[in-house]
Structure 1
Amino acid sequence: MRQCVGCQEMKSKKEMLRVIKTAEDEIILDTTGRKNGRGAYLCFSKECLLKARKNRGLERSLKTAIPPEVYDSLEKELDELGTK
């Protein structure tokens, strides 16, 4: 079970999206759930990403400041995943 950094709900790994900070300090979506790096989990909803942005849940979990353009790119990637 993992906790969403947006809504704080506990769900299984398969029901969640993993966001990681790589060794190169790059923040990316890990669609496979197997990439190396410090991870945080989000539900597959835009609302949870917006909540995580507002309450700085991703920043706390990944232990780094996240620029606004990274949130924008995560939002676009989340939209693309939702349309598949």
Structure 2
Amino acid sequence: MKKRKIPMRKDLLTNSMQPKKELVRIVIDKEKNVFVDPTGKKPGRGAYVSLDPTKIKSAREKGVLDRSLGTKISAAFYDELYAYVDHQKARKELFGDS
């Protein structure tokens, strides 16, 4: 059987290439709304971040997403992103790679 190609994306926080499954996509649309895209298919400019809550905290302090997406990101969004990433990491540890 032929080996499947694993799609790789660049993690904005660590500046390294990682499998798309291990990252979460942040999207900004034309109306400057910023949201988490768990499907990875919503329209708009996207940036990928790792599923590591400590990296999200450091990104908040450094304003990494602000520069990448070209808009001011609210503290509430960072809180939502942290909660999402923390939940996904715990889920991955509990259930594995499924």
Please state which band the TM-score falls in when normalised by the shorter chain.
Answer: 0.7 to 0.9
Is structure 2 residue 30 aligned with structure 1 residue 19?
A: no
* Segment of structure 1 superposing worse, 54-63 or 5-14: 5-14
Alpha-carbon shift at residue 61 of structure 1 (Å): 1.2
Counterparts of 2:40 and 2:88, CA distance in 1: 14
Q: In the alignment, is residue 55 of structure 1 matched against residue 51 of structure 2?
A: no
Deviation at 1:15, TM superposition (A): 2.1
Query: Equivalent residue for 1:5?
Result: 12
Whole-angstrom CA distance in 2 between matches of 1:2 and 1:60? 18
TM-score norm. by structure 2 comes to: 0.73
CA distance in 2 between partners of 1:55 and 1:24 (Å): 24
* Identity, % of aligned positions: 35
The alignment's TM-score, normalised by the length of structure 1, stands at 0.83
Hey, which bits of structure 1, 4+ residues long, moved more than 3 A? none
Which of 53, 78, 88 in structure 2 is aligned with 1:81?
Answer: 88
Bigger radius of gyration:
2
**Structure 1 runs not aligned, ≥5 long:** none
RCO comparison, higher one (Cα < 8 Å, 6+):
1
Cα distance in 1 between the residues matched to 2:18 and 2:56: 16
Q: Unpaired segments of 5 or more residues in structure 2?
A: 1-7, 92-98
Aligned residues: 84
CA distance in 1, matches of 2:22, 2:10: 11
Post-superposition offset of 1:28: 1.1
Distance in 2, Cα, partners of 1:30 & 1:17:
7
